[in-house]
Structure 1
Amino acid sequence: MIRQGAATLCKRHAANQLKVNTGASGALRREMCGLVAAIDDVWGKTSSARSDIAILGKETMNTTSKILHHRGPDGMQVSAGTVGEGETLARWSMGHTRLAIVDPSNRSADMPFNLSFKTKKGDKIIHLAANGEIYNHNLVYKDLVAKEGWNHDRISGSDCEVIAHAFAQWGGPKTAASLDGMFAFVVFEEDVVTGEVKAFAARDPVGIKPLYYGRTKCSNSSDDAAAYVFSSELKALVGHVDPSTVVAIPPGHYWTPEEGLVCYYNPEWLRNDDYAPWEDPNHTVTDDEIREGFTKAVQKRMMSDVDYGFFLSGGVDSCIVSHDLLPLWREERAKLGDDRPIPAYTVGMENSPDLMAARGMVDALGGEKHVEHHIRSFTPDEVFDLVPKIIYHMETYEAELIRSAIPNWLLAERAAQDVKMVLTGEGADEIFAGYLYFQDAENPRQLQNELRRIYGMLGNVNLHRTDRMTMAHGLEARVPFLDTEFTRLVMSVDPAKKIVDREAVKSNSRGREKTFLRELFEGPNSNGSSIPRPILWRAKAMQCEGVGEDWVSILQRRVSSLVSDAEMAEAHITYPINTPQTKEELYYRRIYDENFHGMEHVVKLWEGGGRAMGAEWKSDMYTREGLANVDLLSHALQEGKGKAA
């Protein structure tokens, strides 16, 4: 494990609960929600000065949790109490907003969970607030019973409850490593006999779900932090913590006050620069293994008892998701005696590359009989006024990310009218070399290194957008391409298979970016449907490009007109950290600063202002302002545009 930071331990007392707007009592549910948690720092130097600290008590936690109502509009609950005695006396509180993904039942309990367990290591009380989906929750619980002799029944159908059981038996690091899913959680554990208290927070391996923490200040000290406060989003930390102390827990890390941040997910393909299993003649990964691995990843993410659908951008990634999902959906529905079509959602300007490709894919899947296609078309004028709201929810000023977040906001808003969960094609580019600048990679090793680099940024960029834009509308998004086992499999393939031919990019033909992935899904699915050739071989388009070839330039002209030359000249003075380099960047930064002043260090930017700029090779495919030649995006399904593949 990789460690960053240090400190010691504490003690315990009692807990009580405050329920607020819980909705239906006792919901058998899986949740995609928001959390806030706080605990006094009894591990630091400030115990004697703690009596006047304004920690987030029940009423404050109630108000603060409401800020995250959009993440969980189905209900909210707050728990609070004290732990320890004497100089180690500490207060704690947790708030949780719930998005229910399974129908109500009288068996369940609402989070935060406050559960008591008798274990071989002593009697424990676990206080848990979690955000996410644990796909292997039943397997984890079965392992506890079969291998550990665990004899505590689950009180609910919540997949997140198993975190509390595992934590009581295994502790935090093993629990985090055992979970298969997307998650962020905070645990305060009390040992009833010894009074020892543990604080623990963790984020999933890829960074699909967010988690931040910051520290409050003692009123009589400018140096010592008084409490730790955790939140799913920055906005719930504003006003409660010193902005300079805010940290985004990195993907695949856990945190404790003793150790600081520790990396628990560090697979060999990601950690080892010399990783090359393909050089071993006994190492084989067949196409069938990869296809089967992806089908399993999709099927795993169908875990739901509410209506769901999928985002269909018309790009090859989302089309592959639909290619595998539709037969599984029909099989699932047949068991229920339900033959309704699956909902699909597309956003784009009229005749845009994405919109027209998505229509073609729906036709290939059988049309309205099998797919209920919802299109959110838009014009630039209708979205400019949304930009400040989108930046508030995005909590970033990274320009490349905001450009794509704007149409993503409209897409999520439309889907949330019908469903609570969607599957998306996010992440394929980071494991199959999908971006156009990969055409300039000089050799397979460079390509593999670049995949590792951009995979490591996913939690700050693509997945940040996916979480924020969906959760802003009470919608959950799942990403089968980023299943950790599927990723391990794909990253063990010889990267020579992912090398891009620049001439093939120009001609929309075999050998272009993601050829390896495209060829894997060239054939029909189990229903006999195939991805149409113009779609299968269309150019990679980031969402901000695919929704309309001229969308980015229109956006940039508009927002740049709102920034003066004088403001631009003083940008390095106004914003000394991550100084904006263009008027577009300064406009976004100004809005971010109005909402999250002092937290500019939390935002992780691409080196050089864009994804392609940090590669080991040089490429002119992208500039700081985006794709240099948007004509590459046109395809045969657009009216009056494109070449057939």
Structure 2
Amino acid sequence: MCGIAVVHDLTGPAPSPERLARTRGIGEAMLAEIHHRGPDGSGTRQVGATWLGHTRLAIVDLDGGEQPLRSADGERWVVANGEIYNHVALRTRLGGDFRTGSDSEVVLRVVERLGTDGIHDMRGMYAWAVADRSGDVVLARDPLGVKPLYWARVEDRVLAASELRAFPADVRPQVEEFPPGHYWTAGDGLVAFVDLRTDPLGVEAPPLPAYPTRDQARTAIEETLVTAVQERTMADVPVGVFLSGGLDSSIVAAILARLAAPGVPVHSFAAGTAGSGDLAAARVVAEHLGLVHHERVYTDDDVVEVLPEVVRSIESYEPSLVRSAVPNYLVAELAARHVKVVLTGEGADELFAGYHHFREMDVAELQDALADGIDTLHHLNLQRCDRVTMAHGLEARVPFLSRDLLAVAGRIPMEWKLLGEDGQEQAQEKALLREAFAGWLPESILWRRKEQFGDGSGTADVMSRQAERLVPEADWRDERIEGLPPARTREELGYQRIFAGVLAGVRAEQVLGRFATA
């Protein structure tokens, strides 16, 4: 996990010394703004018409993985943020000598041997740039947008970086999100390399049939998620788990505990207000699994103190996102003292219909809602997850969003994702997922009703109590902040004020996508 900054000159493969100096100045200023993403080191390189910058959180190949990383012949260089989980298999397939054990070197070899056609073969979470001395550059982002990437075209240059804050204030109004599942070159423009709705594995094969029985579906869910968790333990540093006490994070924790080598402790981390349901449930899970458990119990004052930095970190002002980000931010701060990598339960609700508002939907409506939920995760939960962890130099991995598990979820008849097989009101959400992991967790946890993270941690109550402190004016509805939609609540206006103060010039659609005016 790292941060990247890229400045590509579109005027030709050999820009003038004056343009190179200007490019370098822009890039170095951008990289300085995202140093928190990689506290273990940084590096820069001018490669042809492209300046590459990288700030590193060392996780794989601690000694040999410094970036920018060059190809064996020195013609190409890469900066990458994220992980390529199948890099060992790709090494075997591509052959030849590798200079390092870094998964980022595999990105170089894929581009060198397979070109952009090979990008869909990479399994992982990533945003990267490969530049060569001839003047070409390739930008790419993973299909789900687990790793962030933004870009803008300014004065015959293309700028790209991991976070909005990296861009100069006068450039921010022109910044756009680089779309997930796409690559870009100056010659080809923006090209999609995978369609998650129709072909999540990227193999262009006929879709597999729906599972004929619930037993087969349960087995596939269990086996595929176990594999996804195992892949995401790839690291040369300790791996822990965020544990809210809800179903999804508890399943991930249970799998991680079973995969751990004998005698190797698994650290879990939870946060909430005193007496919150999440803390109590997390303790039950941790004790059952024999985890080394850590808690952050926080107060109203703690929430108010970190709010400005939380809004700055997540680069959003959407109230539900801010509410859930506060406990995430505080638990990430705690976890970073003990580990460099954590697994989380993000994505399970979008795959298995876990949200309360799905209760009123029929099969067709639910199918559309789940597909839309996957498409927009990068604007919401994944954006929060990335930013609050990287604010503390911590890498978060999301096993539920394995492309293989997406393919499994796509083969489950939609009727089985309703609230029980018959869709009755009293039925439990995500029943099939719960059934798949029967015996892995205490029954009280396996069948615990879902709470929104901000509610279960106690944060929602704290935030509502603090709304008047954020915006004491009685006539708050009259205030408008340029570039942002009218605030729907006093609380939201408070967050908008913080947001505008630290990210001047950023427009609503840059942080909330199509939800900006909802």
Q: What TM-score do you get using the length of structure 1 for normalisation?
A: 0.74
1:235 equivalent in alignment to 2:165: yes
Residue type of the alignment partner of 1:244: P
- The Cα shift of 1:469 comes to 0.6
Distance 1:256 1:388, change over 3 A: same
1:582 equivalent in alignment to 2:489: yes
- The Cα shift of 1:284 comes to 9.5
Measured in 2, the distance between the counterparts of 1:502 and 1:381 equals 45
Residue type of the alignment partner of 1:74: D
Measured in 2, the distance between the counterparts of 1:520 and 1:586 equals 43
Out of 112, 115, 118, the position equivalent to 1:168 is 112
The answer to whether the 8 Å contact 1:38/1:55 transfers is: no
Query: Which structure has the larger Rg over C-alpha atoms?
Result: 1
1:150-188 alpha-carbon deviations (Å, 9 max, x no partner): x4x21111111111111112223x232111111000122
What is aligned with 2:203? none
Distance 1:545 1:513, change over 3 A: same
1:42 equivalent in alignment to 2:8: no
- The Cα shift of 1:69 comes to 1.7
Measured in 2, the distance between the counterparts of 1:502 and 1:543 equals 26
1:100 equivalent in alignment to 2:29: no
Measured in 1, the distance between the counterparts of 2:316 and 2:131 equals 30
Distance 1:248 1:434, change over 3 A: same
What is aligned with 2:500? 593
3-state SS of the aligned residue for 2:126? strand
1:447 equivalent in alignment to 2:378: no
The answer to whether the 8 Å contact 2:143/2:196 transfers is: no
1:356 equivalent in alignment to 2:280: yes
Measured in 1, the distance between the counterparts of 2:8 and 2:65 equals 23
The answer to whether the 8 Å contact 1:433/1:513 transfers is: yes
3-state SS of the aligned residue for 1:604? helix
3-state SS of the aligned residue for 1:310? strand
Distance 1:605 1:540, change over 3 A: farther
Measured in 2, the distance between the counterparts of 1:502 and 1:344 equals 34
Distance 1:170 1:277, change over 3 A: closer
Measured in 1, the distance between the counterparts of 2:486 and 2:21 equals 34
1:421-440 alpha-carbon deviations (Å, 9 max, x no partner): 01111110010000111111
1:380 equivalent in alignment to 2:300: yes
Measured in 1, the distance between the counterparts of 2:227 and 2:234 equals 12
The answer to whether the 8 Å contact 1:249/1:261 transfers is: no
Out of 54, 58, 69, the position equivalent to 1:113 is 69
Residue type of the alignment partner of 2:138: F
What is aligned with 2:23? 56
The answer to whether the 8 Å contact 1:214/1:228 transfers is: yes
Residue type of the alignment partner of 1:229: L
Distance 1:323 1:598, change over 3 A: same
Residue type of the alignment partner of 2:269: Y
1:76 equivalent in alignment to 2:38: no
The answer to whether the 8 Å contact 1:209/1:467 transfers is: yes
Structure-to-structure mapping, 1:363-442, within 5 angstroms? 363-365=287-289, 370-441=290-361
- The Cα shift of 1:104 comes to 3.9
Percent identity over the alignment is: 36
The answer to whether the 8 Å contact 2:239/2:342 transfers is: yes
Measured in 2, the distance between the counterparts of 1:99 and 1:595 equals 24
The answer to whether the 8 Å contact 1:73/1:98 transfers is: yes
Measured in 1, the distance between the counterparts of 2:23 and 2:424 equals 55
Residue type of the alignment partner of 1:568: R
Distance 1:380 1:278, change over 3 A: farther
Measured in 2, the distance between the counterparts of 1:609 and 1:363 equals 44
Measured in 2, the distance between the counterparts of 1:201 and 1:555 equals 39
1:310 equivalent in alignment to 2:241: yes
Residue type of the alignment partner of 2:84: I
Measured in 2, the distance between the counterparts of 1:171 and 1:502 equals 46
Measured in 2, the distance between the counterparts of 1:308 and 1:462 equals 21
Distance 1:68 1:42, change over 3 A: same
**Runs of 5+ unmatched residues, structure 2:** 201-205
Range moving further from structure 2, 202-211 or 496-505: 496-505
Distance 1:257 1:43, change over 3 A: farther
Higher fraction of helix: 2
What is aligned with 1:300? 231
1:454-498 alpha-carbon deviations (Å, 9 max, x no partner): 111111111111110111101111111100011111121101111
Aligned residues: 511
Distance 1:311 1:562, change over 3 A: closer
Residue type of the alignment partner of 1:594: G
**Runs of 5+ unmatched residues, structure 1:** 1-31, 84-90, 118-123, 146-150, 192-196, 217-224, 524-529, 611-645
- The Cα shift of 1:64 comes to 3.3
Distance 1:298 1:78, change over 3 A: same
- The Cα shift of 1:256 comes to 2.3
What is aligned with 1:558? 466
Residue type of the alignment partner of 2:94: L
3-state SS of the aligned residue for 1:185? strand
1:206-254 alpha-carbon deviations (Å, 9 max, x no partner): 11100111233xxxxxxxx321111111111124x62222111122121
Measured in 1, the distance between the counterparts of 2:21 and 2:132 equals 22
Measured in 1, the distance between the counterparts of 2:112 and 2:288 equals 50
The answer to whether the 8 Å contact 2:211/2:413 transfers is: no
Residue type of the alignment partner of 2:125: M
3-state SS of the aligned residue for 1:578? coil
The answer to whether the 8 Å contact 1:270/1:452 transfers is: no
Residue type of the alignment partner of 2:190: L
What is aligned with 2:400? 481
Residue type of the alignment partner of 2:242: F
- The Cα shift of 1:340 comes to 3.9
Residue type of the alignment partner of 1:446: E
Distance 1:605 1:214, change over 3 A: closer
Measured in 2, the distance between the counterparts of 1:461 and 1:43 equals 38
The answer to whether the 8 Å contact 2:87/2:106 transfers is: yes
- The Cα shift of 1:103 comes to 6.0
The answer to whether the 8 Å contact 1:399/1:584 transfers is: yes
Out of 204, 219, 234, the position equivalent to 1:288 is 219
The answer to whether the 8 Å contact 2:50/2:137 transfers is: no
Distance 1:278 1:578, change over 3 A: farther
1:323 equivalent in alignment to 2:231: no
Residue type of the alignment partner of 1:359: R
Distance 1:569 1:203, change over 3 A: same
- The Cα shift of 1:519 comes to 1.1
Out of 205, 212, 230, the position equivalent to 2:143 is 205
